[in-house]
Amino acid sequence: MKRRVFIIVLDSLGVGALPDAHLAGEENCHTLNHIIELAGGLDVPRLRAWGLGNMDTVQGLECAARPLAAYCRLAEVSPGKDTPTGHWEMMGCPLDFSFSVYEKEGFPIDFLERWVKTANLPGYLCNKSYSGTRVIADYGPEHLASGKPIVYTSADSVFQIAAHEESFGLGRLYEICKIARELLMPLNVGRVIARPFVGEPGSFTRSYNRHDYGIEPPTETVLDRLVKAGIETTGVGKIHDIFCGRGISRSILTQGNDDGMQRTIELAQELESGLIFVNLVDFDSLYGHRRDAPGYRKALEVFDGQLAELEAHLRPDDLVFLTADHGNDPAHTQTTDHTREHIPVVVGGPGVKNPINLGTRTSFADLGATVEEALGLTPVGPGESFLDRIT
């Protein structure tokens, strides 16, 4: 089959609290609605035409009289609200366990001592739950003076290591992250993240040389089956890191949203068939975690123009799935962490013949099953394909 399928993850664009969100105090969260409310509107003519404003629970965005795309919300069956869990369930690998988090107490001292010794470090700084931009502002000067890397975490299962690209060295940062990844395996930690930064005290900024060291999905995914069937899968952005490269035929690293969409548009002009799986991380890292609703609004409006450009290069059977992996509500100011929400799925492109409201469905895995069937395979579950309802 010569069809191309695009999955574009607008990282963190949640559309309403999940039924169990109250357990984390997030029962009123709705990332999209609160962006619109706090930023004073949202000017996205293509997303509106595709039917984003018609989706259940979405408010403040004009409905399309005749949407061009099919749309629905997906609920998450896996526990948690992090990036790997959301993407894995999307690709047919829901989890029945939670990763360990160290938000309250920091990482165990015995682990940190083993890591410092194994990596031959002079020590470490912080070991607390912290905002990624604040932690380099607060600890960056001491890091430069001491050579000690900054370690911090969040409500996600992450061991994040920040270091200055020039004084500490990017290669050295990656090396100590790999050591930490191995030592953390018995602690069931989802990701080790290299967080390089540049600049001088008072003006430190994080660079795009971030790298995630995760673990592989515990079961077979849609990506694995596509590759086994000889169907090319291209990961754009941090998709490779999320799946540890498994089920990815080709990987393209990017420098943020604009670069990611430019590479996606180029792929739409080049590739004959297969899956193009894109993560646009800036929505989450630059705006969601910063609780920056105006910035998030602007980024969505820029993306809307890029979507129109992508549409110009679509072929007769192409499908484009716009989705998210969790929420990050700018109105949820108790923390700067992800929020546990439904995700949107808006399916457009020439391959959509029946642009309908599919309501709210029970698992992110329905997206993967639909993609699998669209690329010529028989879905094996756990998701339920809705391809026949839209094509």
Query: Can you tell me the distance from the alpha carbon of 14 to that of 11, in angstroms, rounded to the nearest whole number?
Result: 9
pLDDT reported for residue 311: 98
Same domain, 360 and 322: yes
Six token digits for residue 28: 């009123």
Q: Domain for residue 104, yes or no? A: no
Query: What's the pTM value of the predicted model, to 2 decimals?
Result: 0.92
Domain termination site, one of 186, 213, 240: 213
Structural domain boundaries, residue 194: 109-213
Same domain, 337 and 223: yes
pLDDT reported for residue 155: 87
Same domain, 240 and 306: yes
Same domain, 122 and 199: yes
pLDDT reported for residue 118: 98
Domain termination site, one of 195, 213, 231: 213
Same domain, 249 and 305: yes
pLDDT reported for residue 157: 94
pLDDT reported for residue 371: 98
Same domain, 209 and 226: no
Same domain, 340 and 324: yes
Same domain, 168 and 234: no
Assign residue 185 the CATH number of its domain.
Answer: 3.30.70.1250
Instruction: Say which DSSP state 214 is in.
Output: -
% helix / strand / coil in the chain, to the nearest 5?
Answer: 35, 20, 45
Q: Domain for residue 103, yes or no? A: no
Query: Can you tell me the distance from the alpha carbon of 235 to that of 257, in angstroms, rounded to the nearest whole number?
Result: 14
Query: Can you tell me the distance from the alpha carbon of 13 to that of 19, in angstroms, rounded to the nearest whole number?
Result: 17
Q: Domain for residue 100, yes or no? A: no
Same domain, 139 and 209: yes
Residues 6+ apart with CB under 8 A from 312: none
Q: Number of structural domains, the chain? A: 2
Same domain, 20 and 140: no
Secondary structure of 63-107 in HEC code, one letter for each residue:
CCCCCCCEEEEECCCCCCCCHHHHHHHHCCCCCCCCCCCCCCCCC
Q: Domain for residue 41, yes or no? A: yes
Q: Domain for residue 203, yes or no? A: yes
Mean pLDDT by 10 residues, the chain (391 residues): 92 98 96 98 98 97 97 97 96 95 95 98 97 96 98 95 98 98 96 97 96 95 98 97 97 97 98 98 96 98 98 97 98 94 98 97 98 97 96 94
Q: Is-contact 10 321, C-beta < 8 A?
A: no
pLDDT reported for residue 381: 84
pLDDT reported for residue 1: 60
Domain termination site, one of 167, 193, 213: 213
Instruction: Say which DSSP state 283 is in.
Output: I
Assign residue 76 the CATH number of its domain.
Answer: 3.40.720.10
Same domain, 373 and 286: yes
Same domain, 386 and 274: yes
Q: Domain for residue 101, yes or no? A: no
